[in-house]
Structures are given as structure tokens and as C-alpha cells.
Chain A
Amino acid sequence: MNVASRFRTLPETGDRVQFTLDGAPASAPAGVTVAAALLAHSGAWTRQTVKGAPRTAYCMMGVCFDCLVEVDGTPNTQACMTLLREGMTVRRQTGLRDLNGGHCG
């Protein structure tokens, strides 16, 4: 399940932020979204649908909701709309489709 990132991150100077992904340490440049950090980290899925299909962030602008992950214990967080912060705990998620007891029109 180790898939290399599909992106090359420019070696711009700047701070890095440490976070964990499914318990393993990872890092990304400061100021990026959780979705960008995950895509820079690996090319694999970050969410599985109810039917078990692999998905990851798609639109990067808050439209598609394929980027849902668990952030600091809150499932169904839109990774592309969430800025990565130092020490964040990120988990990939499976199966869920309703937002956080939320309501989807």
C-alpha cells in the first residue's frame, strides 16, 4: 500500500510542521492544508467508501468531500479546508458517509 507521492514538493525554505498519520510520524511545509500534506506524503487513498472503494482529495476547493479524514479525533473533516497544525493527529477513514451527525441537505 506504499504508493509514492504523485507530487514533487519544491524545496522552498520555510518551517515544517510535524503531524501523525495513522499513528506514524510525518511532516509537511508550514501553511499547507491537511489534504496537501497527505498528497505530498503518499499517493495512496485517504478514505474508503461504504463499498470499500479507495478515494483521496479530489477538487482541493471544498466541493467534492472526497478528502474526508479524521483530524484530532473528529471524523469527516474536510482535509482540503483544514490548515495543518503542529502535532495534529490525522487518521484515514473507512465507510462513513454522513458528516459528523451533520446534515446533508
Chain B
Amino acid sequence: MAEVDLIIIGAGPAGMSAAAFAARGGLQVLILDEQPHPGGQIYRNVAQNRSKRGFLGQAYAAGTDLVDALDHPHITLLTGATVWRLDKGPQVTWSRGAKSQTTSAAHVLLATGAQERPVPFPGWTLPGVMPAGAAQILMKTAGMLPKDAVLAGSGPLLYLIAAQMIDAGSPPQALVETQTFPQMLSATPHLPRALFGLPTLRKGLSLIAKIRKAAVPRYTAASGFHATTTESGNILFSFRANGRDQRLTCGLLLTHQGVIPGTHITRAAGIEHYWNAAQGAFQPEHDLWGATDQPGLHVAGDGAGIGGAEAAASAGELAGLNILCQSGRLSSDTRNQRAARARAALFRARAIRPFLDAAYPPPTDILAPSDNTIVCRCEEVSAGAIRQAIREGAQGHRQIKTSLRCGMGPCQGRMCDATLRGLLSEGKASQPISPPRARSPIKPIALGELAALSPPQEEPA
């Protein structure tokens, strides 16, 4: 591989857009992604689906341009590459085909995106309960449509997936939404700002109209989720809505409570993080260009704070321009001029966020679930056990980890850190809880592979 000026981790909208701008400006770019195809979760398999699966909609198909722009002589794309270590330098180590290798570059852009917020309740570990986004990935990558599914939770993605399922001829059996009328009311002051993102707002309304037209039953202000399995393997879903206990039997229960930045890599890199109260998640500190407090490390896209695909592409463009400037390929004046378009696009794309964050917040019984709920899926630790440990004096993520093994399994806390924070902050007004530590390897890696890792100076071809 030729000398690399910029390594981009993550081939979603932010990474793809940054790669294109940096490469056009003359930099040699290496882009690494864990998945078999570029696109990120939002545009998964978009280039493979050019002429099929039209039910995924136009906003999805728009991702094709970003993938096509990767076809540039200065861009090397490696898919199936899992980054598991990041060192000062910066220097990136990744595993691909059961072999690890290390490369350095003057700049590294972390564009690793978001994950769905864990939605814990009794029964969420059963086969048949899944994140709605996971079902959408199956629609995009395998043409698999959820059968007889209930969509439960809140947020715009729930409407989008419902609409895609309707268009694909497999409408959801029901939509069970947790947002309440007071929450909607509290979001209205953000509406004027949201008007700057009018097309997004319109699209949301058209999704809701489609769901109405398809006569999908809707429940709102739902709470107290609980799932069990019936004899035939179906899911019996109970919850409370409209002042009554409700029960639905379904093949699949698809849950969603928004997405949160995936911050294992940015935390392991030593970047400062802060709690974004409106979005209920930690995110890395960065400037207007995505530069961080760590030399050579930049962030863009949902991993830097949730903004959605369009915001991510604009943030990627800004990071790309800034890296060109720092590499001496653009003067700061030119960078600033050329950034104007992306800045305006970023502003429009983010305008609707405060409204969405206020209207569709994760409910408290998901953030801090009932005692009989499994919180750590890997080590099977319940909320009750965690509350007990807190009563006995455990104070932070670290102490609960060591006493209960919560977060010590292969997912490394990705499925429980958010809930652990919810339980730790229960009953405390605003005590700041620092983000949990993340360490290399940030993804589990076989010991043999660690041992066989060739030193960076003898980089394999």
C-alpha cells in the first residue's frame, strides 16, 4: 500500500464524504469498514440494491452517489476490516481475514457512527425481540421482511421502518409508541427552528400519513413493556396504554428508542467526552471542523453526536476540507470559503434535532428498567442485582463491572453502559457520572492474532 495521508474508520455517510473531498484535494486515503460493503448502517448495501428493493425509498437510494464517489485513484477501501486499536501517532491497527496489521498516517478520521440505544425490559433477550434497525438491516441486505411484527418504542426511524414495511407489502401489525402528549407539547417551542429543515419535517409527516392510510393500529404513551414466548415460539407482548393493560401476540417485536454515538473508539483514543443531556448520551468533544483534543484525530458523523445521515455527510465534508488545510493543500481562506455550502447544509440537517430529541425521549422505564430486567446481556446481570450493588456502595461503572462482571462480556458494555448510567443516576438530580473507560482491544480479538501481529515498520503489502 502506498503512503497514506488519511485513514478513515467507517464507510458511512461521514467517512465516504470525507474520503471523496480529501482524495479530490490530493490526499492518499485509506478507508476501513467492518461491514462487507460501504454505506454504513443507513446506506447498507445501497450499491448492491441499485435496481431492487425500491421499498427502501429515495432517501436511502441517495446514498449511491456517496458510494460511487469512493471510486477514485487516491482512495483505497478495505471492507471486512475491524479496527481494534488506535495509538498515538496516530496509528491504526485492524483485523481483516483473521490477520491484523498496523498503519500510520498524519490524520485519522473516526467516523464509526451510531448504534441503537439499548431497549431493556423483561423479555428483551428472547429470540423474536430485536431492534427495529436490525430488521431494517435484514431488509436492506437480505430482502427479508418482518412477518407479523409489532413496532414498539419511539422516534422517526420507527415511522420510516413502518412505511418501508408497508411499501414492501408486509405492514406491521401495530405501532406501540412510548412518547406522551406532554412530551409532544414540550417539543413545540423547537418547531420554528425545525422549519429550517422543512423537507425532513415534511417527510416525517408523509410517513405518518402512510401509516394512517394503511390503518395500522397505533397506541401512544405506552409503558411497562414485557415479553414472553408462547408455545409456538411467538412473542406475547404486554404493555400499558390508554389506561389499560394491553396484550399483543406477534411473530416479531421490533423495538427502537433512537440511536446513540458509538464511542468505544473515541474513548479508547483518550478524546475528552461530555454528556449531551438533550440526546441522553456521551459524545466526544470536537471543534467546528471535527478536530479533537488528540493530535491528528478527527471525528465526524453520528459517532460525534447524533445528527442523521445528511448532517453526517456535511460534517465529513468539513472534516475533509480541514484535513486538506492542515496537510498544506488548502489555505485556511480557501477552506473557509469552500466550507460555506457544507455549513449551511449541516445547519439545515440539524435544525430538526432539538424538536425530535424533545418529542421522542427514551422513557424512564427503559433508561432504568425494572429489577427483573436483564441489563447486561453477555453476563446476564439484572437491574435488581445492579441496584443492590449501588445500595451497597458501588459508585461508578468501574465498581459495578468488577463486582458483577456487568459489561465484561464480548460486547464490552455496548449493550449495557447506557442502562448502567441510567441506574447509577436514578434518584440523583444531576450528579455528573464520567463516561466508562474503554480500552484496546476495542473489539475482541483472538490471542493468536495478537501474537502474530507484525510490527508497524514491517507493514505487510
Query: Which residues on A are within 8 Å of B, measured CB to CB?
Result: 3-10, 12, 29, 31-33, 36, 39-40, 43-46, 49-51, 53-66, 68, 76, 81, 83, 97-105
Q: Which of B130, B143, B408 contacts A104 (CB 8 A)?
A: B408
Q: Smallest CB-CB separation from A45: which chain B residue?
A: B127
List residues of B (292-327) whose CB comes within 8 Å of A's CBs.
none
A45 to B130, alpha carbons, bound, how many Å?
13
CB distance from A30 to the nearest CB of B (A): 10
Closest to B146 in A: A7
CA distance A57 to B147 in the complex (A): 16
Whether A102 contacts B447 in the complex (CB less than 8 A), given A39-B138, A40-B142, comes out as yes
Q: Is B391 an interface residue (CB 8 A)?
A: no
Residues of B in contact (CB 8 Å), total 59
Known: A6-B147, A45-B127. A64 touches B415 (CB 8 A): yes
Please report which residues of chain B, range 92-139, place their CB below 8 angstroms from some CB of chain A when the two chains form the complex. 115-116, 125-128, 130-131, 133-134, 137-138
Residues of B within 8 A of A46 (CB): 127
Q: Which of A6, A39, A49, A83 is the one whose CB lies under 8 Å from B36?
A: A83
Given contacts A62-B34, A104-B409, contact A55 B125 (CB under 8 A): yes
- Beta-carbon nearest neighbor of B413 in chain A: A105
Q: Give 4 closest A-B pairs by Cβ, nearest first.
A: A3-B233, A10-B143, A60-B134, A65-B410
Contact check, A36 vs B142: say whether CB atoms are below 8 A apart: yes
Given known contacts A3-B232, A104-B444, what 5 new A-B pairs fall within 8 Å (CB)?
A8-B170, A54-B127, A55-B127, A68-B410, A101-B446
Report yes or no: A58 in contact with B131, Cβ–Cβ below 8 A: yes
Contacting residues of chain B (220-255) with chain A, CB-CB under 8 angstroms: 232-233, 251-252
Q: Which of B127, B168, B170 contacts A43 (CB 8 A)?
A: B127
Residues of A within 8 A of B410 (CB): 65, 68, 76, 97-99, 102, 104
B34:A81 contact, CB within 8 angstroms: yes
Q: Which residues of B contact A49 (CB under 8 A)?
A: 380
- Distance between Cα atoms of A4 and B148 in the complex (Å): 12
